Chains A and B, each alone.
Chain A
Amino acid sequence: MNETYKKKGFIKASTIENWRLYWYKFSRNKISVLGLILVLSSIFLALAAPYIVPYPEHVKAFVDYNNASLAPSSDYWFGTDIFGRDILTRTIFSFRGALYMSVIVLAISVPVGTLLGLMAGYFGGWFETIIMRITDIFLSVPAVILALAIASVLKPNLTSSMIAVTVMWWPWYTRLVAGMAKSTSKEYFVKNSELIGASKGYILFREILPSCLSPILTKMALDVGWVLLIGATLSYVGLGEQPPTPAFGQMISDGSRYMPDLWWMTIFPAMAIAYIILGFNLLGDGISDMFNRGR
């Protein structure tokens, strides 16, 4: 009893120590910290949008022709669109839909993809063959194209675009995890568990999964940006969030019709996309460096 207690305590302490070490490594790298700041500020903007934007009513169908098409000024920092709606307000509100989409898509596709990958890698045989051939099929065309096709046959709204991207996203994780699970399952500590008679679930989740975690986390951080980009692409062609609710792609598409005269309608939402993607890329690189013991 005493023995197990000690052991448990020891394991726990060492993990905390590990995370401290990881954080130390992460915080040494200025670029990674910048990425974290960009990401946290994006999340803050998304969550706090209704409380911090100057004109909350401009998110809905709102018309104010007296203030339409104004260039950036002290009243409207990012200018206004052709209906007189504040671009700053609409840009900040677009963070909500964009991040919401990324989070939902990854929250579904990562567990599904990881589970299939773990099982394919560990069980092997015909199960692995079938799963891997199916992932090959999904990865045989750029994700954007099939996502566009799926979204186009469904009703055009945010849910459809999330379904379309989710369907396209799990195979990446399956492929990533399957390779690692396969090599890990040959390690002695896994063989030991098997000999002791540990359950399949225990081996998959407690023995193999932890050693696959760092690439999964790295990929997730990068993927938030990519999912968001595909979401913006879908909404650019009119297959995402429908007006009057603002979305990056839709704002860029609307604005590009009035280029170059009303440049602020396009440039600011575009910069917002770049801001988020840059943030998640820097964060992803930072996480990957953090887990790399060598450097």
Chain B
Amino acid sequence: MLKFLGRRLLQGVFVILGLSILIFVISRIIPGDPARMALGPRATEEAVEQLREEMHLNDSIPKQYVFWLQGAVRGDFGRSVNTKRDVSEDIKDFLPATIELVLFSGFLLVTVSIFLGLLAARYKDSWVDTIIRFTAYIGIAIPSFVMAIILLLIFGLVLQAIPVLGRLSSGITKPPNVTGLIMLDSLIAGDFKTFWNALQHILLPGIALALGGLMQEARILRASIADNMTKEYISVVKGFGLPKGLIMRKYLFKPSFIPVVSVMGLDLAALMGNAFLVERIFNWPGISRYGLNAMLTKDLNAISAVILIIGVIFLAVNIIVDIIIAALDPRIRLGD
């Protein structure tokens, strides 16, 4: 297991290095002078030349990459053209909001999809199953940003049932910063009013993000259970007269969860991608909204930093998923 983990981590380091090269190449395709863009059209020629020197733009491309990478490893991504601050400070401000949203949405994804999947498998070929399958197709077909707009419209504007936009209503004070996740911080501070307000704010973007993947996973879990139900070893343990609950728990569920967990890993990571638009629509002050703004204004330092950080998170999620699968499936664990 340790060897498996070590190899996986080493592989991860290579992937991130490769990703950094890819990002660097993308950020250099851009036509125009980054120094000139950073300073604006009214800056003097000398000032631009000085900044070019500071940004190592006069060096060869490989040398530029090395300088950029050295900075990135130290957490120094340079300055953002938009916010006029260090990109690393911006990220410190914006990342917790995205993590909170993705964790909440991931929690919904995992719990609800397992619940619906088990329900559909238990009442296979009944009306429950049909409804779940039908909504699964709807969930897949409606893009998350459209779902976000629809939810915002129905619950936020027409019904005015819950507050939308942002993380907290304007009258509510932010809890003392411990983890950066408002829901967790307010619980630590024992402030239930803030917690309730934060929960209401996160509900709609969380649902909009989770819905597509959620219904798909429920379907995969149902198919996987239905498939394993017909396997011979299940008939064998049934023949031994083991109680039904035990067969379910010990022999049926464990192998059935393997395909679900691997798809779930991909989907959890994909939440970061979908968050780009959902955060924009709900005005959620997260790193995805920050990254999207950076992209639309060609703020290169911020773009590179955001993509690199998402890459690292993506990779971490994948490694965790691999560990869970290895724990579920001895063939993978012992195979290496």
Contacts and interface: CB of A to CB of B under 8 A. Distances in A.
A233 interface: yes
A259 B150 CA distance: 10
A278 B137 contact: yes
Interface stretch (A72-80, A87-95, A137-145): A137-145
A153 B27 contact: yes
Nearest to B219: A285
Interface in B249-298: 269-270, 272-274, 276-277, 280-281, 291-292, 295-296, 298
Contacts of A144: 273-274, 276
A157 interface: no
Contacts of B19: 137, 140-141
A83 interface: no
Contact of B143 (A148, A149, A273, A282): A273
Given A143-B273, A152-B296, A237-B277, A259 B142 contact: no
Nearest to A255: B149
B65 interface: no
A236 B145 contact: yes
B168 interface: no
Interface in A117-157: 133-134, 136-138, 140-146, 148-150, 152-154
Nearest to A145: B273
Q: How large is the interface on B (under 10, 10 to 19, 20 to 34, 35 or more residues)?
A: 35 or more
A145 B288 CA distance: 9
Contact of A256 (B149, B270, B298): B149
B157 A237 contact: no
Contact of A237 (B27, B137, B143, B296): B296
Interface string A223-245: 00000010011001111000000
Chain A contact residues: helix, strand, loop or mixed: helix
A136 B15 contact: yes
A141 B288 CA distance: 13
B142 A263 contact: no
Given A142-B270, A259-B157, A233 B145 contact: yes
B18 interface: yes
A266 interface: yes
B137 to A, nearest CB: 6
A268 to B, nearest CB: 11
Interface in A254-295: 256, 259-260, 263, 266, 270, 273-275, 277-278, 281-282
A110 interface: no
A140 B16 contact: yes
A145 B307 contact: yes
Nearest to B146: A270
Contacts of B61: none
B275 to A, nearest CB: 9
Contacts of A237: 277, 280, 292, 295-296
Contacts, number: 122
Contacts of A270: 142-143, 146, 149-150
A247 interface: no
B222 to A, nearest CB: 14
A208 interface: no
Contacts of B15: 133, 136-137, 140
A252 interface: yes
B292 A153 contact: no
B65 to A, nearest CB: 15
Contact of A259 (B149, B273, B274): B149
Interface string B17-48: 01101110011011000000000000000000
B18 A149 contact: no
Contacts of B295: 148-149, 152, 237
A277 B274 CA distance: 16
B140 A145 contact: no
A130 B271 CA distance: 29
B265 to A, nearest CB: 12
A277 B22 CA distance: 30
Contact of B277 (A152, A236, A238, A277): A236
Interface stretch (B89-97, B111-119, B308-316): B308-316
B157 A260 contact: yes
B127 interface: no
Contact of A145 (B30, B146, B149, B272): B272
Given A134-B18, A273-B142, A277-B140, 15 more contacts: A140-B18, A140-B19, A140-B311, A141-B307, A141-B311, A142-B274, A142-B310, A146-B26, A149-B295, A150-B29, A152-B298, A259-B149, A260-B153, A270-B150, A274-B146
**Pairs A-B, 5 closest by C-beta atoms:** A142-B273, A137-B18, A278-B141, A152-B295, A144-B273
26 contacts: A137-B19, A141-B273, A141-B311, A142-B310, A144-B273, A146-B22, A146-B26, A146-B307, A148-B276, A149-B23, A150-B26, A150-B29, A153-B298, A232-B143, A237-B295, A239-B296, A252-B145, A256-B149, A256-B281, A260-B153, A273-B146, A274-B146, A277-B140, A277-B141, A277-B143, A278-B137
